[in-house]
A and B are shown apart, each in its own frame.
Chain A
Amino acid sequence: MPSEGDTALLQLDGVQVAYGAIEAVKGVDLMLFEGEMVCLIGANGAGKTTTLNAIAGTLPLAGGTIRYRGEDLARLPAHKRLKLGIALVPEGRGIFTRLTVEENLRMGAYIRKDADGVAADLARVFDMLPRIRERLHQVAGTLSGGEQQMLAIGRALLSRPRLLLLDEPSMGLAPLIVEKIFEVVQSVREEGVSILLVEQNANLALEFAQRGYVMESGRITLAGSGRELLENPAVRAAYLGESD
């Protein structure tokens, strides 16, 4: 566990995000330390994806601050945040369906100019995702759901992120595939990439993450280590499908 004195890699203070007059995120405080995997769980419409998009810079803030390595991100557009090392894997994968797998991966390195570094990272991603390597010249839209998700993660890795924002990687996938995805996520973390994971599959997410936050209608209602939250009766009742 990180101690209080460390500066967080990512720190959200009273973050608010609104869609017009509707306030989707009403004040979120959240911290993530270097090397950590933190998950954000909660019901549909709690504001998890919105929070993630605000961090990535694809949605504007209505209030509060987001600090990354101590620096306020407020005025930075999405593409500049990516250059700082914040990569988002959007909900529903968001791969380029009409391009081949290889092209998708190469697009992930769009902001980079170091061809050698990209080639090395490509090789690293192939080692991590052998299934993707087999499908290199296939049009991405024809991949299975699980492969598309892996491709999306692989593409994000090609920007060489320090912080990976993962939005519901388990969405719409069979349980066996979901476990595979989580193994990949785990190996990404072992390479030293910090991860903020948004998930509906609370059980698995809490098992893999060091710490977790529970979000309800735009606010954080609970925070703790993965284990604590897994054992918390309120969490068990609400998100793990158990009645008392």
Chain B
Amino acid sequence: MKQWTNFSKGFFKENPVFILLLGLCPALGVTSSAINGLGMGLATTFVLVMANMVVSLIKGFIPEKVRIPSFIVVIATFVTIVEMTMQAYAPALFEALGLFIPLIVVNCLVLGRAEAFASKNNLVSSVVDGAGMGLGFAMALTMLGGVRELFGSGQLFGFVLFPEEYGMLVFVLAPGAFIGLGYLIAVLNRLTKA
């Protein structure tokens, strides 16, 4: 039961993007389509789970003073693994996500969970927390990507719902990311308060 709350808090109560406003750079940068958002979300989930796992295992050995650099090295290692795997097996996604794959290293969400949760909790809780937070992040990115893709080009996951001429181009471009996320948060605020 405790693990379930641990897992599910990442989706709504402490959703990293909608509530905590962490990791917004990739959330805005890569969500021009739902599938890109999902890809980025899953890549971050992998890094988050593995980093949380390793950090909770080595937390006893790391001196207090050098813990942040050590966490960053752990995170950077898994980011490099993701980067190379994606380049080999999903080159199209790798092209689309571009600069934001190496930038998972500086995603405040990953470092934030390592510092705030994994360095204080046991292995199982840390892995569960990483998975919940990561999937909540992936869900938020997929939602934002879906909204932008739908309004911008009339598609959802690449399926055409209405002709592209009727779409609002601005949603696919940079300003649409800010405006789309702003209104998405406003709608969620309204729903959770009501």
A binds B: no
